[in-house]
Amino acid sequence: MNGKKSSSRDRKGLSRTHILWALLAVFALSPAISANLQPSRYEGGRVKDEADIEARNTSAFALILGEIRANVSDLLFVKTELYLHSGVAYMPHLDYGEMAQTGEIEHRPAPTEDREPGTEFDFERHFREHQEEVGIVDHDDHDDEHAPTIIPPARQDFRGFIGELHRRVKPWRDPALAHIHTDGRELLPWYRLMTLSDPHHIRAYMIGAWWLKAQRSETQRKEAMRFLDEGVRNNPTAFQLYLMRGYMHNEDGNIELARDEFALAARHAAEQRPSQGPQHRDWTDYMEDDARGAVRMHVLLERELRNIERAIELSREYRAAMGEAVGFLNRIERDLEAMLEEE
């Protein structure tokens, strides 16, 4: 009887142990599959869509919630507004697309209008302009100086003495006065954290790299390049990152390296660009501008390296692929053909 009892217990124990061991064995091998299960990694989506980020974070509801956000992109949106205005909470008005593309804090030109994408002009001008905004500068010449503050001025506040205390306790400046802008240096840790937690946040790499460059030290310049390298490693098809690397190499005088980067940028851009261009929901004006810049730079650097025939060939290829969007190549191509004839 006792023997039977113990053997039945053994059998029961054995089978449970077997199941446990079997599960442990499967679990031991599970990383091979689980590492590839990444349902949160996908292209596009509203969370990273620039227009959507701006729309939702400027909504009344987002302003009421303050810094309470469910995703890092949105939190960074709020932090950027605060840090660049020395803590004063204005109604959101910074242009993040512009920031990612040129490093400028605000000022919204229409990206595709009357603006030739390209070489020295893009990089140098934008860099100079960015420098003007670095440091503590009072700006009197911005169109959006009168962006209202979230805490209203006394004349518009129904809250009486509570409103007055609120204005004194929180960083606040009369919206009628010029904004005080700081540089993006103190925001860099947020961008670092953001790319660490979401290595596919291309815009964070772009803005972070701009602000690193703006520090104007050799160390930070190298860091900017390393940051971009990391961005490219994590996002091998992000053409804007190749474009930025190209600009940096070009500025350093590494023309061949720059050309290679622009080639990659232009190739990826041409592959990704929808036929409708900026009319397509997922293709912004800034992407269009960057794509045109990449194409232009690639052709121009081939010219600079005296590969005239290759430059003409590329120009034709890009015109065939991108049509009217790269209409400026017609003039360049004519110049190239003239150069070829002269040679």
Partner 1 sequence: MTPVWLIARSVLIEAVRRKEIYAIVLISTLLIGAVMTVDFFNLEGLTKFYREVALQVMSAATGLTVIVLAARQLPREFENRTIYPLLAKPISRLTFLLGKLLGVMLAAAFCYGLFMLVFILGTFYLGGEIPVGLFLQFLYLQMLKMLLLAALSFWLSMVVNLDAAIALGVIFFFASSVMTNAFTLLYPFADPFGQGTITVLNYALPQLALLDLTEKTVHSEFWPPLNLGTMFALTAYAGFYILVFFGAAWYCFRRRPL
Partner 2 sequence: MSAESRARIPPASTAITLLGKGVGIEIFRRKEFYVLLFLMCIYAVGVIIAGAVGIEDAATFFFLLNLGLTFAYLSGHLLALLTAARQVPKELEHRTLYPLLAKPVTRQTYILGKWIATTAAGIATLFLLALLSFVPWLVFPEATELSGLLFLQMIVLGCLSIALVAALGLLLSLVVPPGVSLTVIALFFLFWNQAKAFLLAWYGDGPAAGFLGWVLQYIPDFSKLNLVTRYTDGVGPLGASEFLGLAVYGGLITALALLLTGVLFERRQL
Q: How far apart are the C-alpha atoms of 203 and 226, rounded to whole Å?
A: 16
Task: Find where tokens 């947020």 sit.
Answer: 190
Q: Which positions from 217 through 246 interact with partner 2, judged by CB under 8 A?
A: 230
Q: How far apart are the C-alpha atoms of 128 and 124, rounded to whole Å?
A: 6
Taking a C-beta distance cutoff of 8 angstroms, is the pair 179, 85 a contact? yes
Q: Does 109 bind partner 1 (CB under 8 A)?
A: no
Q: Considering the complex, state which of residue 194 and residue 300 has its C-beta at the smaller distance from partner 2.
A: 194
Picking from 175, 112, 95, 147, the residue whose alpha carbon sits closest to that of residue 327 is 112
Q: Does 323 bind partner 1 (CB under 8 A)?
A: no
Candidates 47-55, 242-250, 255-263, 332-340 — which segment interacts with partner 2 by CB under 8 A? 47-55
Q: How far apart are the C-alpha atoms of 89 and 75, rounded to whole Å?
A: 14
Q: Does 75 bind partner 1 (CB under 8 A)?
A: no
Task: Find where tokens 């205390």 sit.
Answer: 165
Q: Which positions from 254 through 313 interact with partner 2, judged by CB under 8 A?
A: none
Give min distance, CB of 131 to partner 2, in A: 30
3-state SS string for 11-62: HHHHHHHHHHHHHHHHHHHCHHHHCCCCCCCCCCCCCCCHHHHHHHHCCHHH
Please identify which residue in 40, 128, 158, 341 interacts with partner 1, judged by CB under 8 A.
158
Taking a C-beta distance cutoff of 8 angstroms, is the pair 89, 67 a contact? no
Taking a C-beta distance cutoff of 8 angstroms, is the pair 273, 320 a contact? no
Q: Does 24 bind partner 2 (CB under 8 A)?
A: yes
Q: Does 18 bind partner 2 (CB under 8 A)?
A: no
Q: Does 155 bind partner 1 (CB under 8 A)?
A: no
Candidates 40-48, 61-69, 122-130, 300-308 — which segment interacts with partner 1 by CB under 8 A? 61-69
CA-based radius of gyration for the chain = 27
177 contacts which partner out of partner 2, partner 1, none, CB within 5 to 8 A by kind? none
Residues that bind partner 1 (CB under 8 A): 60, 63-66, 68, 82-83, 86-87, 136, 150-152, 157-159, 161-163, 165-166, 168-171, 180, 185-186, 188-190, 192-193, 196, 212, 215, 219-220, 223, 227
